[in-house]
Amino acid sequence: MTAKKFGDPADPLLVSVRSGARVSMPGMMDTVLNLGLNDATVQGLAATSGDDRFAWDSYRRFIQMYSDVVLGLDHGRFEEALEIAKEDNGFSLDTELSAKDWQKLVAEYKAIVQELWGKPFPQDVHDQLWGAIGAVFGSWQSERAKVYRRLNDIPGDWGTAVNVQAMVFGNMGETSATGVAFTRDPSKGDNAYYGEFLINAQGEDVVAGIRTPQYLTKAAREAAGPSPPRWKKRCPRCTPSSPASSRRSRPTIATCRTSNSPSSAASSGCSRRGLASALPRRRSRSQSTWRTRV
pLDDT at 65 over 50: yes
- Count CB-CB contacts under 10 A for residue 193: 15
**Contact of 265 with 276, CB cutoff 8 Å:** no
Question: Which tens digits make up the pLDDT trace of 127-154?
Answer: 999 999 999 999 999 999 999 999 999 9
Q: What is the pTM of this model?
A: 0.73
Question: Which tens digits make up the pLDDT trace of 41-52?
Answer: 999 999 999 999
Residues, the chain, total? Answer: 294
SS3 16: strand
38 HSE (CA, 13 A, CB side): 17
Question: Which tens digits make up the pLDDT trace of 80-114?
Answer: 999 999 999 999 989 899 999 999 999 999 999 99
The more confident residue out of 33 and 235 is: 33
Taking the C-alpha atoms of residue 35 and residue 66, their distance in angstroms, rounded to an integer, is 8
Helix intervals (H) in 139-279: 143-151, 203-208, 218-224, 231-234, 262-268
- Tell me which amino acid residue 35 is: L
- Tell me which amino acid residue 93 is: L
257 HSE (CA, 13 A, CB side): 6
DSSP label of 5: B
